[in-house]
Structure 1
């Protein structure tokens, strides 16, 4: 085999791998769109048919190839293939829903996960059990069907629900840890923890004010039973 043939074969295999990886990521993009559509429908319904809309913001993101490779390394996945990546990494596609109040978080969680074509795989309730640093959010790995020309495909999507105060705190914490390359001085860590407590108190006070001013929202659901907390 000549050098030219080796080079052409390498180029062909590289292109095939690139195309396969792009198809792999498109599956998650389609799953993410399905979740976005479900949330958009709920948002529009609340806007037009109810006096109160609990959804403030919705953001979506798809992990980059570099980010996926980094997570493969962190999880110690040897000789990864696409099937193994699907099984081991469940947050390739993510949607974040920012709500007005804590009660809204649980309400929207119920409205999304009780839909017939949504399967809940894992729930991590960091509102009921905050992280040591004060981080709060409700995380869920759900599966939604995507209907391709080759048939239906079940795609996992991570959905995070949090309040405005929780989102502001998490954004600030991320920026601080990024600035210090995760080596944050202890006094700043302590200040972040204090700020998390203040944000939680603000959530409680603002929700109380909302209830006093407007009464209980038309559809008020109690938080679901404590979910199982499983490592992902």
Structure 2
């Protein structure tokens, strides 16, 4: 993370070395958890490629929320601003985005993750079959990941989003529209994006069907 100084809005004294050390330790736990999940996904992708002759993962992105983003969400969600209770209230401080090529690959990746004995799926939100009203599609999983510390093992939550290239292409533009200020005709552009979300979904389904036909004929 670029800036691990404790935000001034935390109730702890921002100049306190103890408070800063607590925040750094918390962020270290999240970075370690992300590394664990990334390693597993890379391995599962390589295993899938050996078994099937093609990759499952197109690309992988990860991030740890900045202190400013944590503060913004705490205030927006009216959460308690406390370093000890924050991990139980906010499950998306650490995030991984898995970009796959086809809709079938979303469930393939999920099934492989849920078979990992040291990972628990705490929560599942299926925005693929039930998209958000704005057209957003993706599968969201909240994972409990073991992090090995000097004092013992601690479970850390990581949010994993699994989506196709087309879903990610659409979502990146929708995100830009949502967070850009002073965009003219924003409502009109938002309606257009909702309409394009249906086209993106249809394209995903068509490409998935073509892929299945190609691979079925390969096995004849």
Same fold (TM over 0.5): yes
Give the distance between the partners of 2:86 and 2:184, measured in 1 at CA: 29
Q: What does the per-residue CA deviation read over 1:53-88, in whole Å, with 9 as the maximum and x for residues that have no partner?
A: 12101100001111111111112124x222220111
Residue 48 of structure 1 and its aligned partner are, at CA, apart by: 3.8
**Mean CA deviation greater in 187-196 or 176-185:** 176-185
Cα distance, 1:134 vs structure 2? 0.6
Partner of 1:77: 79
> After superposition, where does 1:129-140 map in structure 2 within 5 Å?
129-140=130-141
Counterpart of 1:159 in structure 2 is: 160
**1:19-64 C-alpha deviation (Å, 9 max, x unpaired):** 1100111111111111001001012223344312121011000011
Aligned residues: 208
Cα 1:171–1:11 shift into 2, 3 Å: closer
Name the CA distance, whole Å, in 1 between partners of 2:134 and 2:218: 31
Question: Secondary structure of the equivalent of 1:57?
Answer: strand
The match for 2:172 is 171
Q: Which runs of 5+ in 1 are unaligned?
A: 1-9, 219-232
Write the deviation string for residues 78-128 of structure 1: whole angstroms up to 9, x where unpaired. Answer: 4x2222201110100000001111111011001012211111111100011
Q: Per-residue deviation at 1:183?
A: 8.8
Q: Distance in 2 between matches of 1:217 and 1:115?
A: 30
Larger Rg: 1
- Please report the TM-score for the alignment, with normalisation by the length of structure 1: 0.83
Correspondences of 1:191-206 after superposition (within 5 Å): 191-206=192-207
Q: Any residues of structure 2 matched to 1:76-95 within 5 Å, and which?
A: 76-78=78-80, 80-95=81-96
Provide the C-alpha distance between the structure 2 equivalents of 1:59 and 1:214, rounded to a whole number of angstroms. 28
- Secondary structure in structure 2 of the residue aligned to 1:83: coil
The one of 58, 69, 73 aligned to 2:60: 58
Contact 2:177 2:186 in 1 (8 A): no
Structural RMSD (CA): 2.2
Q: Secondary structure at the match of 2:99?
A: strand
In structure 2, what is the equivalent of residue 127 of structure 1? Answer: 128
CA distance, structure 1, for counterparts of residue 71 and residue 173 of structure 2: 26
Q: Which runs of 5+ in 2 are unaligned?
A: 1-11
Q: Following TM superposition, by how much is the alpha carbon of 1:193 offset from its aligned partner in structure 2, in angstroms? A: 0.5
Q: TM-score, normalised by structure 2?
A: 0.88
Per the alignment, do residues 190 and 59 of structure 1 end up closer, same or farther by CA in structure 2, a change over 3 Å counting?
Answer: same
